[in-house]
Chains A and B, each alone.
Chain A
Amino acid sequence: MTDETAVDPQQIERRAYMAYHRDGLWDIFLGLIFIIYGIMIQVDQAAYMAIWFVILLPAIVKYKKSFTQKRLGYARFSEKREQKEKKNRVALTILLSFTLALGIIAFYAFTGDAGWQRWLRSLRLLPFGGVVTLIVAALGLLYGMYRLVLYAGIILAVFLAGHLFNADPAACFLLPGAVFLVVGLILMIRFMKKYPRSKETSPYDAR
């Protein structure tokens, strides 16, 4: 911390909060989800894709607590920050509900042969790519993790290219997934080097 920034509370608060998101775990999660989805499409088990999301999300949240907090320490942030977190969760819930509604519509696209169903099927994975782009970009903007906005751009570009060049749908997942996983692992290694796990207990614990 430089002495110029030492008394700028807003900057200190933001820097301290953002340090928790520089551990690469969310990037690894996103990468794994994309790679697993790619493999599931490849082995023709795409219908079970959502199960992996439900399995991996709580696991990563639990692991994040032990991995990140043991290296970075624990802090209870300001009420203002906690209120912002609550608003973010509400916004994400609305967004995920919207996604679920779109998923149901997409499911019905395969149940009949009406005009709109044929049109939706002709778009192949493009609507899925659009929705994922929207979710990842929203996550990045809400939590100030701007690399996720870049990821959203990559997802959109890959899905658009996949649609235009009639590429293998699995590749549309595997390619961005590999990128996110590699970035996440690099971030994680950097984080572990910068914040090694402390073996000593706090001098205040004994009090």
Chain B
Amino acid sequence: MTPGKKRDGGGNFSATEIDRIVHEPARLKILACLAVVRSADFLFLERQTGLTRGNLSSHLNRLETAGYVEIHKEFVDKIPRTLLRLTRRGRLAFDKYRHNMKQVLDDRPD
């Protein structure tokens, strides 16, 4: 997906500019969950999204490959935890997706 906002001849936003990685419903749920927390573990995402472990794992791999999500380890109450968080790029992609979708819906004819 091209990051820049493009409009067609009629001034409307082109739907082809929607980020396909974010647009997939399961990944959108994951990104939406990670967008509202600083970081979260796998179980938290599993509970909040309602996805199966395999499904969640596969979508997280896709998001990680795209550079939208990163994994880091930290100690919480002296226990090592593997946490996931949005990268700056992932946050920008999510915010842009929301903005673009709002525009697509706002521009539709009545």
Q: Which of B1-9, B11-19, B48-56 contacts A (4 or more CB under 8 A)?
A: B48-56
Whether the Cβ atoms of B38 and A78 lie closer than 8 Å is yes
Bound CA span A204–B63, Å: 14
Question: Is the C-beta of A193 less than 8 angstroms from some C-beta in chain B?
Answer: no
- Most A CB contacts (10 A, CB to CB) among B39, B60, B76, B82 go to B82
Bound CA span A152–B98, Å: 41
Residues of A within 8 Å of B32, CB to CB, are 6-9, 12
Interface extent on B, as a size class?
20 to 34
Q: Which residue of B lies closest to A65 (CB)?
A: B77
The verdict on A75 contacting B41 (CB below 8 Å), with A12-B33, A16-B48, A200-B53 known, is yes
Whether the Cβ atoms of B82 and A207 lie closer than 8 Å is yes
B-side interface mostly: helix
Q: A1-B29, A72-B44 are in contact. List 19 more A-B contacts (CB 8 A).
A: A1-B48, A1-B50, A7-B98, A8-B32, A9-B32, A10-B36, A12-B32, A13-B36, A72-B43, A72-B47, A73-B42, A73-B47, A74-B43, A74-B76, A75-B38, A75-B39, A76-B39, A76-B40, A202-B43
Residues of B within 8 Å of A12, CB to CB, are 32-33, 35-36, 48
A5-25 vs B, Cβ < 8 Å mask (1 yes, 0 no): 011111011011001000000
Bound CA span A195–B48, Å: 11
Question: Is the C-beta of B66 less than 8 angstroms from some C-beta in chain A?
Answer: no
A47-88 vs B, Cβ < 8 Å mask (1 yes, 0 no): 000000000000000000100000111111111000000000
Residues of A within 8 Å of B76, CB to CB, are 74
Bound CA span A170–B81, Å: 46
Question: Is the C-beta of A115 less than 8 angstroms from some C-beta in chain B?
Answer: no
Whether the Cβ atoms of B41 and A202 lie closer than 8 Å is yes
Question: Is the C-beta of A198 less than 8 angstroms from some C-beta in chain B?
Answer: yes
Whether the Cβ atoms of B36 and A205 lie closer than 8 Å is no
Residues of A within 8 Å of B45, CB to CB, are 73
A and B contact pairs by CB, cutoff 8 A, 18 listed: A1-B48, A3-B25, A9-B36, A12-B48, A72-B43, A73-B42, A74-B43, A74-B44, A74-B76, A74-B81, A75-B38, A75-B40, A75-B44, A76-B37, A76-B40, A202-B41, A203-B57, A204-B84
Within 8 A of A (CB), among B73-88: 76-77, 81-84
Question: Is the C-beta of B104 less than 8 angstroms from some C-beta in chain A?
Answer: no
Within 8 A of B (CB), among A162-207: 195, 198, 200, 202-205, 207
Bound CA span A73–B45, Å: 8
Whether the Cβ atoms of B28 and A7 lie closer than 8 Å is yes
